[in-house]
Every structure is written in C-alpha cells, then in structure tokens.
A = this chain, B = another copy of it.
Amino acid sequence: MQKQSRRERERENRRKEILKASWAVFSSKDYDSATVDEIAEMAELSKGTLYLYFQNKAELFFSTFELGVENVFSIAQEAIKEKPDDPIEGIKEIMVRLLAFFENNTGFFKLLSSERAHFELKSDGGDNLKFKNRIRKIVIKGMKLIEEYIQHGIDIGVLKDIDAKDIAFVLMEVIRGFAFAIIHNIEELRPTGRLENVISILLDGIRKHNSV
C-alpha cells in the first residue's frame, strides 16, 4: 500500500507537470491552434506519454481550464476571508485581487473569455459533457461562495436587499469586463482606468438622487 501510494504521488506530480505545460500552451493560442505536440515538447515528455495521463486533447484542455477556474475562486475566497464582516471592503478586495490575477495571466484570461471555453466545445454529448459538468460544478460552488458573502452583507445591513445572486453575478461580470478592457488595452474603449469609478458605480449606482 505504501508503495502504491508513492506511485500515485508520482503520477500526480507528473500530471501537474503536464498541466503546467498545457496551461502555458493553451494560454498562448486557440484550442485548435494549440497542438498536442507542442504541449508534449514543453512538458519535455513524449506525446505518447501525455496520453497515459489524459485521454485526449479535450481532457487536457478542460483540466487546464478547470485549474484556472479553481484559482479564480480561491482568490476570491481569500479576499473574503480577509474581510469577513466588511463586504464593502471585501468586494473591493475581490476586484483588486482578481484584476491582478488576470493581468498576470492574460493568456488564461483570454482562454476564459473564449466562448469555446464556456461550455461550447462541440457538445458531443459524450466525454466533453462530462468535463463541462465538472467545471460547471466548480463555478457554481464558487459563485455560491460569493453569493453567501453578499447575503451576509445584506443580513448585517451593509448592502441593499436585492437578490444576492443577482448582485454576485453583476459583480463578477463587471470584473470580467474591466479585466477585458485592461488586457486588450484599447485606448478608446478602455475605461478611464480608475478602478474607483467602477467600484463606485457598482456600489452606489449611476442615478443621481436629487432629493438626497
């Protein structure tokens, strides 16, 4: 048993090495443009070996993607842990950290943005579906985490009593959009770059209340 356990650990390590290479490659190009050869070369392994750890290119892709999604939510989780009872500051913290992560992993961000990534890859009803469901679960779990944090903010009277799921959703979309603008760096489209503006829009809205 001890021996098998060591074998498993080795197998796990090898898998991680491959995923690292896979991350690098899929972050640098399309799913179709990326080749298994390239990943094998980057992992300093033969192509055949990759197939001992992943059944095919799609699993390689989804596992990489999964890893990234896990990262995203664990970053959010850390931010939350730091400000468990101050959702306003906690939300700011989530935004700042995730934007930093995306800026440091622009390739992965593009991957994440890609429609293909989002549950579209040839839904052959077969294995892809299995992979997608795995990712779906991670996303759901992650979103629930944020939702609960928002709900806590509502409960303690810091946030407005709007459906927490809707708020969580808008929060993540705004982050995603902001990262997109920064990363693609389109001068004319880019928000002013002041994260504060975006945060303030989210927190206080855009409508002017004359009566206040």
- A residues in contact (CB < 8 Å) with B: 29-33, 88, 110-111, 113-120, 122, 136, 139-140, 143-144, 157-163, 165-167, 169-170, 172-174, 176-178, 180-181, 184, 186, 188-189, 191-192, 194, 197-198, 200-212
A205 to B205 alpha-carbon distance, docked (Å): 3
Specify which chain B residues have a CB less than 8 angstroms from the CB of A186 in the assembled complex. Answer: 119, 136, 140
Q: A159-B206, A160-B206, A209-B209 are in contact. Are A111 and B115 (CB under 8 A)?
A: yes
Q: Of B144, B158, B162, which one neighbours A197 at CB under 8 angstroms?
A: B162
A144 to B29 alpha-carbon distance, docked (Å): 31
Specify which chain B residues have a CB less than 8 angstroms from the CB of A203 in the assembled complex. Answer: 205-207
Q: Are B167 and A206 in contact (CB under 8 A)?
A: yes
A188 to B168 alpha-carbon distance, docked (Å): 12
Minimum Cβ distance to chain B for residue A36 (Å): 15
Q: Of B158, B160, B205, which one neighbours A202 at CB under 8 angstroms?
A: B205
Q: Are A159 and B207 in contact (CB under 8 A)?
A: yes
Residue in A136, A158, A206 whose Cβ sees the most chain B Cβ within 10 Å: A206
Q: Are B209 and A181 in contact (CB under 8 A)?
A: no
Q: A202-B205, A204-B207, A209-B212 are in contact. Are A166 and B189 (CB under 8 A)?
A: no
A45 to B143 alpha-carbon distance, docked (Å): 47
Q: Are A204 and B205 in contact (CB under 8 A)?
A: yes
Q: Are B165 and A191 in contact (CB under 8 A)?
A: yes
Specify which chain B residues have a CB less than 8 angstroms from the CB of A169 in the assembled complex. Answer: 177-178, 181, 189, 191, 198
Q: Are A206 and B212 in contact (CB under 8 A)?
A: no
Q: Are B191 and A166 in contact (CB under 8 A)?
A: yes
A183 to B186 alpha-carbon distance, docked (Å): 27
A34 to B201 alpha-carbon distance, docked (Å): 40
